[in-house]
């Protein structure tokens, strides 16, 4: 008996669409990360990109639990003196709501070359419109 190892160029990639409206941010991120890694496929191989493309729409309407709207903070540092910037979830939602989902999903992927490659298959949009209709994405029913 031989162990099966998937090859990245032989994987059939599907397109999935997740509607984040009134969904909890963490649940949406877990589902997106699982689909992007390919963990729900029978051919899953940990060191090979076997995942699918994921489109997340209505990122501005994603829900958070507890007091995270004011308490959760996001930090960025430009590398220059005085370049430390902090904002809470409410401020980030007002400026760039798609970054909420992107940041949550990125933390659930491997922190190496494979994770950076897998992250490119995530497409997040603040509204309900997206330019990927020609790929015929399948809606995700259970989150």
Residues in the chain: 143
pTM (2 d.p.):
0.93
CA distance 98 to 81: 28
| 9-13, Cβ contacts within 8 angstroms, sequence gap of 24 or more | 11/38, 11/43, 11/48, 11/49, 11/50, 13/51, 13/52, 13/53, 13/121
- Reported as a single tens digit per residue, the pLDDT across 78-87 is 999 999 999 9
Return the CATH superfamily for domain 14-68+98-139. Answer: Ribosomal protein L13 (3.90.1180.10)
- Reported as a single tens digit per residue, the pLDDT across 101-139 is 999 999 999 999 999 999 999 999 999 999 999 999 999
Ordered by start, the domain boundaries in the chain are 14-68+98-139
* Short-list 106, 24, 26, 96, CA closest to 60: 96
Question: Does position 1 have pLDDT exceeding 90, yes or no?
Answer: no
Pair 64, 22: CB distance under 8 Å: no
């Amino acid at each position: 008996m031989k162990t099966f190892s998937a090859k990245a160029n032989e994987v059939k990639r599907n397109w999935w669409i997740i509607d984040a409206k009134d969904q909890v941010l963490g649940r949406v991120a877990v589902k997106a990360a699982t689909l992007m890694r390919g963990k729900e496929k029978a051919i899953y191989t940990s060191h090979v990109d076997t995942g699918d493309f994921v489109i997340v729409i209505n990122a501005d309407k994603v829900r958070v639990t507890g007091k995270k709207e004011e308490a959760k903070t996001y930090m960025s540092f430009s590398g220059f003196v005085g370049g430390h910037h902090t904002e809470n979830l409410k401020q980030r939602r007002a400026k760039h709501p798609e970054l909420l989902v992107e940041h949550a999903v990125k933390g659930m992927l491997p922190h190496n070359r494979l994770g950076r490659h897998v992250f490119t298959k995530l497409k997040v949009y603040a509204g309900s419109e997206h330019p990927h209709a020609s790929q015929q994405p399948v809606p995700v029913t259970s989150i």
